[in-house]
């Protein structure tokens, strides 16, 4: 583990083409709402009302979240070199908590595409990053407002 900006970052190394698990230890009594984010892209969002899970397009059919009491780790069926980066698991607790994991991917896979597709992908990733960041910000704000609303309701009922 390394320390950056006052938080602990867990380092995980995985080989390209193999499975990997990025751990996140949500409290056993947590509300089943959490977000996995890579850099500024929302990888996976698990909602608390209906239990619906949303996965970013570039991670669909390659990842799933291990949702159990005390565990909301993300599991990669097959890791790609492009998966390397800093991942953050946010989960609803007062205050909002997070765990950070840096995934290092080793090994090389053959290039299966042309250089022009790389430019298109980069533009798509940039757009996804901005949208992902805004989505996380809105979700965090909604969770905070919901928690404050519940507190006010409890206070008003106790009078």
The pLDDT tens digits for 88-118 are: 998 876 677 888 999 999 986 555 555 555 4
Give the domain extent around 12.
Answer: 2-158
Mean pLDDT within 72-82: 93
| Strand 71-76 to 63-68 pairing | antiparallel
Q: What per-residue confidence (pLDDT) applies to 50?
A: 62
The pLDDT tens digits for 12-63 are: 999 999 999 999 887 766 666 788 999 888 898 877 556 677 889 999 999 9
Report residue 117: phi and psi, to 5°: -65, -30
CATH number, domain at 26?
2.60.40.10
pTM above 0.85, yes or no: no
Q: Which of 62, 78, 57 is nearest to 14 (CA)?
A: 78
> How many other CB atoms are found less than 10 A from the CB of residue 138?
10
Query: How many domains does the structure of the chain reveal?
Result: 1
- pLDDT higher than threshold 80 for residue 3: no
pLDDT, greater one: 134 or 40 = 40
Sign, Cα dihedral of 131, 133, 134, 136 = positive
CA dist 106 and 12 (Å) reads 11
């Amino acid at each position: 583990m390394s320390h950056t900006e006052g938080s602990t970052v867990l380092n995980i190394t995985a080989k390209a083409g193999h499975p990997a698990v990025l751990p996140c230890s949500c409290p056993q009594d947590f509300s089943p709402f959490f977000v996995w984010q890579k850099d500024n892209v929302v990888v996976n969002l698990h909602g608390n009302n209906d239990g619906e899970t949303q996965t970013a397009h570039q991670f669909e059919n390659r990842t799933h979240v291990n949702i159990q009491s005390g565990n909301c780790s993300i599991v990669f069926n097959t890791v790609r070199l492009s998966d390397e980066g800093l991942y953050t698991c946010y989960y609803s607790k007062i205050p909002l908590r997070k765990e950070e994991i840096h995934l290092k991917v080793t090994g090389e896979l053959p290039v299966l595409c042309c250089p022009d597709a790389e430019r298109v992908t980069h533009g798509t990733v940039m757009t996804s990053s901005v949208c992902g960041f805004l989505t996380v910000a809105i979700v965090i704000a909604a969770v905070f407002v919901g928690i404050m609303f519940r507190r006010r309701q409890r206070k008003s009922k106790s009078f």
